[in-house]
Structure 1
Amino acid sequence: MVRAFIASLTGTSLEWYDFAVYSAASALVFGKLFFPSEDPLTGTLLAFSTYAVGYLSRPLGGFLFGRLGDVIGRKKVLVATLVLIGTATLLIGLLPTQAVIGPAAPILLVVLRFAQGVGVGGEWGGAVLLTSEYGDTRRRGFWASAAQIGPPAGNLMANGVLAALGALLTEPQFLAWGWRIAFLLSGVLVAFGLWIRVRLEETPVFKAMEASGDRPQAPIREVFTTQPRALAAAVLCRVAPDVLYAMFTVFVLTYATEQLGMARGKALTAVLIGSALQIVLIPLAGALSDRWNRRRMYLWGAVAAAAWPFVFFPLAAGGSWPLLAVGVLVALVIHSFLYGPQAAFVAEQFSPRLRYTGSSLAYTLAGVIGGAVAPLLFTALLGAFGTWLPLALYLAAAAVVTIVGVLLGREADHDEDEEYTRNAAVRAAADQAPAGGRT
């Protein structure tokens, strides 16, 4: 279980490490090196467009690897996704610039970013199942939370690396070669993750599927035709946590600097303190959801997510850093109590034989309508109305969507996996028995 927990945590941490490093590189480096233009803003916008490609390609990964996870196994797919993400990230760190190979440089950057997104799209669902299908189903909230620790852990690692590079290198050095170090260091995480994952056995649920011949032939079609309510519940329940996280880890940096006149470093410090706290709070929230009713806990978290922006923006309006920090910390505490139980809640919506496909589809589809567009919508709303109220209403609407999803979802069935593996063993034994010995 410990190896499975670490294997799950490693993959999602790599994903979010890449997320943060790529975001910084898009803003600081890629526009100059891969999209040089007379207008610096144009180059930066083109660089950010490659960042968006990583989100848009995730559903493809969810469809591809989610299906394979229910057909060939959780472990094999998780090794493949980690290799794909890691290889693409390392190649970005080695990629020649436009000054060296011309137009091929930005094209290759887009291709590698696309490959990263495909790998990420298949990573989360398997990372969740790796722990949740190994352990006691009555502690699924805690074990499945391993995949959820990735965002704060990845953000902390990325910002730590970028801060160290900023302190050790001059700006010309960072622009010339220093940024590559941040990408190449991901190889350490990939190597460690592979070492853990290749040593793991398949989960008991997939072993039972394989032994009984119950692997689905068309899992994507089966999810859409036989479990549409489960898919809707799993997609909708993810929207508010994604939008809340986008507001209080990404957009809050823009709001604090441009609207409150605060130094970016101060705003970033508040986010990093909250991220460090989440590393403890997310597994704690997952464990608490095992003791309390998971759906009820999720509902109260969604209500708190809807209400908090109406407190935060007036609280931070004076430009006080301590009040801003308190506001961000409370928001990330609320997010922890949504995000910690989320992995278990999503996995529990689907039957064991379709769980990888269903979880992956839910993760990638929700990411497109939730976290991917949230920073852009926040920026557009603030630019159009010039006040915080539309931002708070947007998050409240996202919370309502999540409440609907939780109400559509089903309660945890702690005996489902045991019953499935037991019945699968009976079917497998019957299939292997001599024809004359059957009754």
Structure 2
Amino acid sequence: MKCHILSTLRTRTVLLCAGTGSLMALFSMYLITPSNEWSKYMLIFNMNIESSVTATHSLSSCSELFNELSFSANSTNSYINCCNDTELRSNNTGYVCNLTMQHRLMEILNIVKMPGINCNALFNGTPLAAAKMNTTGRQDDIPIKDIDYLNLTQDCENFQTTRGYIMSSLTQEEEDFPLAFSMVVYKDAEMVERLLRAIYRPQNYYCIHVDLKASDNFINATSAIADCFPNVFIASRRIIVKWSWYSVLEAEIVCMNELWKYSKWKYFINLTGQELPLKTNYELVKILTAYRGASDVMTNYKCIGRHNWRWRGYPVPFGLVKSVGSVHITANRDFVDYIVNNETGAAILNWTKLLAIPDEIFFTLLNANPKLGIKGTYTGHQDSCDKRLFMTRYKMWYNAPCAGKKVRGICILSTGDLPRLFAAKQ
């Protein structure tokens, strides 16, 4: 099958966000943000622009073409003459790739266009370009209040269309590699919906834990959004989440238990309500496939003397090696199975209730001790002071370069960080 691409803009999409959570380094595909919704939370840009190019590609399906294009936000004038209805319906990819979806993706693409922005200048670090981006974005910023979502979701099909959700797996590879996400949230339904829209695919599963102390308007908004999708749900049990308390970990466990009943997903990824993706869903699937079943959990073994106070004098059970890390993980099903269904896992979880900041101990403790027999956990040397950092999130802490601002020690990225991100291929 031959697909002809005219006036192609070949790009990648970068998403930056301001918020108290971390910035994820792996995630979803082609973020869709209506032009009147640019806000302080994020910016969308395109990389590697090659305009006015004519090329011929041999592709097995239109989905490969879409993944290759990465849907430039400036490709309004691009025209894809890819196959015909018969070819599309008869391709052997095992899923529907038709002109309707092709046109829909192009419609979504046009929604995010922001005219007058010189992306090359932004990535080159030109101050005037950054200033113009910030000014233009703020002029078009019309925040959506939590209560507004009750009206927006009255017609779910219209909500999905106007908000720009991608209601297709797009590729057979993504269809065959579903993911499970938890989202622990407490405020700003627009930001939460923005994140959901960025990572949403119909083959994935999404558990949203809404803090019990959240406002009524917020819980009503998130519930209304979730009700518009068969694979998105609000956690049936809600916790009052307090930093450094067991409740931070408990909210994650609640979603793990509820996601476990969906048997198809391959990896579990936990999110906060204040972060956004830097990678596409397609790229994420490619990366996780390359993991070959390994879990991605931050692990710090020996040099944890300054963290000893967290144990409060309680011995580590089952002769396990001490480790500290992060609550945010990318874990395979076996890892989650051990937490949800294993008696030893339950005993370790119960023990963490005695500790300070248990959410930064439990997951890493499971990952750091191969004697537990959890598939995909770390099996390397335990005598090093090096952190086993994780790839799933991009966080710039404390003294790291930051063109934006620091909130609780984490860099909130801005347009000034684009040159560094681009150079590092983030």
The TM-score by the shorter chain falls in which range? Answer: under 0.3
**TM-score if structure 2 supplies the norm length?**
0.26
Higher helix share: 1
Higher strand share: 2
Q: Which has the higher contact order (CA 8 A, sep 6+)?
A: 1
